Amino acid sequence: MRIKRNNPKTFPNNKMKQAGESQLQRIIRKTGRKPSQCKCKLCQQQCHTPCLGTPQDILRLAKAGYADRLALSEWAAGILLGCTDHIIYMIQPISEGDHCTFFHDGLCELHDKGLKPTEGRLSHHSTQLDNWRPRKSISYNVAKEWEAEDNEPVIRELLGELSKVQTKIQQANDQDRMDQPRVESRFGLH
């Protein structure tokens, strides 16, 4: 994954990060959003699209055993909204059917585990078109974190975690292929 540097042309309102500030705190400061736990139908409708997570959010998911439910993602909404001039590449939760992979029975399975990605933690049904500004949006600010130079070590660690899962999947597939002739011969299928 190529990491494009954060620069003033791409993000003109980019200010210096405050010392000791976590990604979540930084995004809260920039968006004005606070963590929310609403479970209403309007909030549940947002779960048709997986929540965007910062590199740290996604690394925590991978380390918690969910790496097989993550995939490379392209965030292009910023181009359409005039926030950025390029696609931002990220690793994010996948969709299964018409919902996020973590959405079951009207709830996010990550919520009580403290693993919910930043967009899901801060999103709320009160965000409407009349009070929404692209550069203050949660998704824009989460996407920017994937280009922040100080997140490169986290992204590299995340790619290492995903590589381990890919190796395990490949080994399982190789084992299945080795077992296939035995199964075929046992049932007379050559």
Give pLDDT tens digits for 17-49: 566 788 888 898 988 888 877 676 766 667 677
Q: Is residue 88, in this structure, part of any structural domain at all?
A: yes
User: What's the burial of 136, exposed, middle or buried (CB within 10 Å: 0-12/13-18/19+)?
Assistant: middle
| Per-residue pLDDT at 179 exceeds 90 | no
Q: What pLDDT score does 59 carry?
A: 97
Q: Is residue 69, in this structure, part of any structural domain at all?
A: yes
Residue 107 sits in which domain range?
23-162
Give pLDDT tens digits for 57-107: 999 999 999 999 999 999 999 999 888 999 999 999 998 888 888 988 888
Question: Are the beta carbons of 105 and 99 closer than 8 angstroms?
Answer: no
Looking at the 3D structure of the chain, how many domains does it have?
1
Q: Is residue 31, in this structure, part of any structural domain at all?
A: yes
Q: Is residue 109, in this structure, part of any structural domain at all?
A: yes
- Highest mean pLDDT among 31-40, 150-159, 180-189 belongs to 150-159
Q: Is residue 189, in this structure, part of any structural domain at all?
A: no
Question: Are the beta carbons of 145 and 117 closer than 8 angstroms?
Answer: no
Report how far residue 28's alpha carbon sits from residue 9's, in angstroms, rounded to the nearest whole number.
Answer: 23
Q: Is residue 97, in this structure, part of any structural domain at all?
A: yes
For residue 62 the two structure tokens come to 């991978």
Residue 107: in which H helix or E strand, if any? strand 107-108
Q: Is residue 8, in this structure, part of any structural domain at all?
A: no
Using DSSP's 3-state secondary structure scheme, residue 155 falls into helix
